[in-house]
Structure 1
């Protein structure tokens, strides 16, 4: 992280804590306590929290500690629908505008993920996966699209991670990434858009299932009265 600022480094650590569930949805993000735990002053901690607030991972509250965002299913599925459309468009534009070196870079990300998939923990693997999609958006050479994609991706970071963690299929993911790269190399916009759509096609279903499972886990257990014979 030598090329990142201290607030960026702190934000990355907090982001991982949110992904791991150490900071659960609705939990307060206490500036003083987190600064003390990380051995930093409150100023960069405050800026890191602002970074996460811009990403939608944290909600700021007047005169109170910020909390980890807890979006509704409707908010998440609406954003995912937009995100999928943005990724399909970015793939089409990358076919037209990406340099050969940019496409080679996307292939290197894919090959790194394939080589290290079984060696990485869930978060490291997920971050490489997201780097793959971010690189395609940047290769579109459409600054507005890449910026919008980044904003939606940041807001969906935790939901997408949970879906990836619980539903991950190694062979399917690597096969689809490889097909997307092949389409970019062949400059086949239809193939790239189609494969991105297929790749993300089950995301909404997985998110809905994740919310359903979370609701079931939170449901209080039903007490069964024992037959004491009295």
Structure 2
């Protein structure tokens, strides 16, 4: 490791390691208080993806930050390994989503999964560059930027895991569209309202099947 390339980021990576470790602990607390008591294979698809996203990104930031603080270690090698794990996890989430897609149409999964794949691909390319040029200040800065990007992603996924409502415009619009689709489906199931029986001289049929003589 080249000290000149990492000296300016020592305090930054130290703070990131502290924050990542704390958030990982809070993540386990969030899982324990989650409204979904079943956190295994029978958990909702959205919960599985959110949990996988949060733990993968936080673990990535924690390990990268700790390795960057260790003198004499190779950050490029750690970045390549973690990027490979992240890509593998992203592929797994994509497979789970496609397998359960007919019954779980979560539009946000179409965004978060490819976005994570792109971020891990960038980390892999950056890690390879660090292996070739360990003293590259730009590559170290790129790793620091990726760590910064992973934090809000993990926090947002943990926020959804505990059942909190999102306040983003896309979330509100998605909820509105889902409510309208549910209302339309309920209306189609119930069918048109039945017309009231007009009042007249004809008497209602006797439930016993016997006809009453006319007066």
TM-score scaled by structure 1? 0.30
TM-score scaled by structure 2? 0.31
Larger radius of gyration: 2
